[in-house]
């Protein structure tokens, strides 16, 4: 749609505007319905939505998804099917916070999952983490959320003046609830930690997210010390925040693909290894518990 410049409105009469505004609203509503049209076909709520930002983080999941159908909603792609006897939707969120929030919200509204699993690659902020180690998120935190104290011109940029800030969600439209981070679902976390994995360690810790790609070791150390995050990615915490707003269970699972401490080159196969691990979590370790909630054997 072309933009109408303000100056072009000078000759438009009030009557014309009264006609144009309802027409514009009708067109917007029509476009909105078209973008969300798959919601009318989603039917029964699914058990799990599994997310990955890029194709390399999705292939083992898509290969394991039976009876899959592709559903396109606006700019985001979903595949619905069955995995390990469960109703599963695989979501390609695309990269970054905007995509993560949008894709998660669309999944929550259209597919009404009982659980969201965000998975994929991450960089290490801890020097002892090795490439292909997997971090199961006991919490996900936005390490780009901070405020700085005043400093005069010429005083430079000093991370020592930065302090973390929280996210707030008005759950049920009432009182705002503070989230310093977004906790992972305990049952699913236990299932992930109990799943065998041969390529490295599986640990639980805090997963960090921001729309950043940090290669300065001092910055990485600051993230770890300030937020407790042992890894950094661009989506987990933001998907977690959207899930929290819908009171939907959430877990982030991230594999270390690179480390500025000793292995700065990104290992391109890491995303596939993480997705394969998540397939094992879903098909081999999770079970149906009370209320059809995924639990562990």
* CATH number, residue 234: 3.40.50.1580
Any domain includes 250: yes
pLDDT in tens, 192-207: 999 999 999 999 999 9
Any domain includes 33: no
Any domain includes 17: no
Instruction: Please report the beta strands in the chain, taking only residues with DSSP state E, as ranges in sequence order.
Output: 48-52, 66-73, 76-83, 86-92, 115-124, 134-142, 146-148, 162-164, 167-170, 176-179, 182-183, 202-209, 229-233, 249-258, 286-288, 294-296
Global confidence as pTM: 0.83
pLDDT of 145 strictly over 60: yes
Query: Which of 49-58, 174-183, 245-254, 284-293 is the least confident region?
Result: 284-293
Any domain includes 32: no
Any domain includes 192: yes
pLDDT of 211 strictly over 80: yes
Number of structural domains the chain divides into: 1
């Amino acid at each position: 749609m072309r933009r109408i410049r303000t100056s072009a409105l000078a000759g438009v009469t009030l009557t014309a505007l009264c006609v144009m505004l309802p027409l514009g609203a009708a067109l917007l509503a029509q476009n909105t319905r078209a973008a969300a049209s798959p919601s009318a076909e989603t039917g029964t709520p699914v058990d799990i939505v599994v997310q990955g930002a890029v194709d390399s983080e999705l292939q083992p999941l898509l290969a394991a998804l039976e009876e899959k159908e592709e559903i396109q909603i606006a700019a985001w792609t979903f595949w619905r099917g069955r995995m390990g006897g469960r109703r599963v939707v695989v979501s390609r969120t695309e990269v970054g916070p905007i995509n993560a929030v949008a894709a998660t919200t669309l999944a929550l509204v259209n597919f009404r999952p009982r659980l969201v699993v965000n998975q994929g690659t991450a960089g290490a902020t801890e020097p002892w983490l090795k490439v292909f180690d997997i971090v199961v998120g006991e919490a996900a935190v936005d390490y780009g959320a901070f405020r700085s104290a005043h400093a005069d011109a010429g005083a430079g940029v000093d991370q020592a003046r930065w302090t973390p800030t929280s996210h707030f969600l008005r759950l049920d439209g009432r009182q705002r609830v503070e989230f310093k981070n977004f906790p992972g679902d305990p049952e699913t976390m236990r299932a992930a930690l109990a799943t065998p994995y041969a390529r490295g360690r599986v640990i639980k810790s805090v997963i960090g997210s921001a729309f950043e790609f940090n290669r300065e070791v001092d910055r990485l150390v600051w993230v770890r010390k300030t937020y407790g995050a042992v890894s950094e990615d661009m989506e987990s915490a933001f998907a977690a925040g959207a899930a929290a707003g819908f009171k939907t269970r959430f877990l982030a699972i991230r594999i270390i693909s690179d480390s500025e401490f000793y292995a700065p080159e990104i290992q391109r196969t890491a995303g596939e290894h993480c997705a394969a691990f998540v397939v094992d979590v879903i098909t081999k370790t999770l079970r149906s518990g009370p209320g059809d909630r995924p639990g562990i054997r």
